[in-house]
């Protein structure tokens, strides 16, 4: 009997050591390769560079949209590439800096860029983060924050647009970049639009990686604490929430909306049948009308 107990104790001890070693390895991998898990410049079926997309998704001119290439260099010497599509009366209309979603190259956003430019009557700036599309470098939280500063520095230095009418619009990851930019960087933004974005990476771990969330205190090195930063934003804000978002729980958008107590004013546009990325296609008139009304309200205050 004593030998049975002794054997069981030894087995339990060995199993415990194995479990600890396994968790240490998992924690190490999650920490070391976290950026590659979080940021997805390449998705299945599409190349990293938009230049290798099918026709119609390589550059805006292929779908009849006039544009200019933008090439800028960040303060840590990373070259970023993107586009600006201007209206004929470019100095008399708002300019929207669109901080894009996580996955894929900027060529996948060309149709959205065109409709935004036409239906909302705005200039649209779309520049790829580092490591995405034709931009150099590797993505990271700090890197994307540096990119945001470089992008806005460029946009505010332009003489062909009205720099008193510059708005941010960020969807998903781009929403976190927008909230960071508006809360932390010292630019005279006219307003901020966030769409289907998350409260923090920590909260998203609870949703997507719930089985290993007990490790997040040890391994997280990407935070994007939008729920904390949004309280500092004073500019007007428009929140676009999709009720059928399959990635970011709509409840997180609700929390952001409720927490934005310092904004000069805030509005919420709900798309009942909208998903994470393509809500703008459900009812384009209603979507861009909400954006235009937001711009009008910003001018009225």
**How far is Cα 292 from Cα 284, in angstroms, rounded to an integer?**
12
Q: Which of 133, 200, 245, 269 is catalytic?
A: 245
Q: Vertex 100, ends 66 and 73: CA angle to 5°?
A: 75
Could you tell me where the DSSP H helices lie in the chain? 2-32, 34-38, 110-119, 141-157, 173-184, 201-208, 216-219, 226-229, 250-259, 284-300
Catalytic, 172? Answer: yes
Check: CB of residue 168 under 8 Å from CB of residue 192: yes
Give the burial class of 79: count Cβ atoms within 10 A of its Cβ; 0-12 exposed, 13-18 middle, 19 or more buried. Answer: middle
Q: Which of 275, 276, 283, 297 is catalytic?
A: 276
Q: Which of 172, 181, 183, 242 is catalytic?
A: 172
Catalytic, 160? Answer: no
3-state secondary structure of 159: coil
3-state secondary structure of 170: strand
Which two structure tokens, joined as six digits, stand for 147? 């990119």
**Active site positions, annotated:** 172, 245, 276
């Amino acid at each position: 009997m004593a030998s049975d107990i002794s054997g069981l104790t030894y087995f339990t001890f060995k199993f415990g050591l194995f479990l600890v070693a396994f968790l240490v390895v998992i924690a190490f991998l999650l920490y070391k390769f976290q950026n590659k898990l979080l940021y997805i410049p390449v998705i299945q079926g599409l190349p990293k560079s938009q230049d290798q997309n099918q026709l119609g998704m390589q550059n805006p001119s292929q779908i009849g949209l006039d544009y200019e290439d933008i090439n800028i260099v960040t303060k840590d010497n990373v070259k970023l590439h993107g586009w600006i599509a201007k209206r004929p009366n470019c100095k008399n209309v708002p300019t929207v800096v669109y901080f894009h979603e996580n996955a894929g190259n900027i060529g996948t956003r060309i149709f959205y860029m065109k409709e935004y430019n036409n239906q909302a009557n705005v200039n649209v700036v779309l520049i790829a983060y580092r490591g995405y599309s034709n931009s150099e470098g590797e993505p990271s939280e700090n890197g994307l924050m540096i990119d945001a500063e470089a992008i806005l520095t460029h946009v505010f230095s332009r003489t062909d647009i009205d720099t008193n009418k510059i708005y941010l619009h960020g969807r998903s990851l781009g929403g976190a970049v927008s909230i960071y930019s508006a809360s932390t960087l010292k630019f005279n933004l006219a307003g901020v639009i966030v769409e289907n974005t998350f409260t923090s990476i920590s909260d998203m771990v609870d949703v997507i990686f719930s089985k290993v969330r007990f490790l997040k205190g040890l391994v997280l090195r990407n935070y994007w604490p939008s729920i904390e930063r949004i309280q500092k934003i004073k500019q007007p804000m428009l929140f676009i929430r999709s009720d059928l978002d399959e990635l970011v729980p709509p409840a997180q958008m609700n929390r952001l909306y409720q927490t934005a107590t310092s904004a000069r004013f805030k509005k919420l546009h709900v798309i009942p049948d909208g998903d994470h990325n393509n809500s703008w296609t459900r009812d384009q008139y209603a979507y861009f009308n909400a954006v235009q009304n937001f711009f009008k309200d910003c001018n009225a205050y």
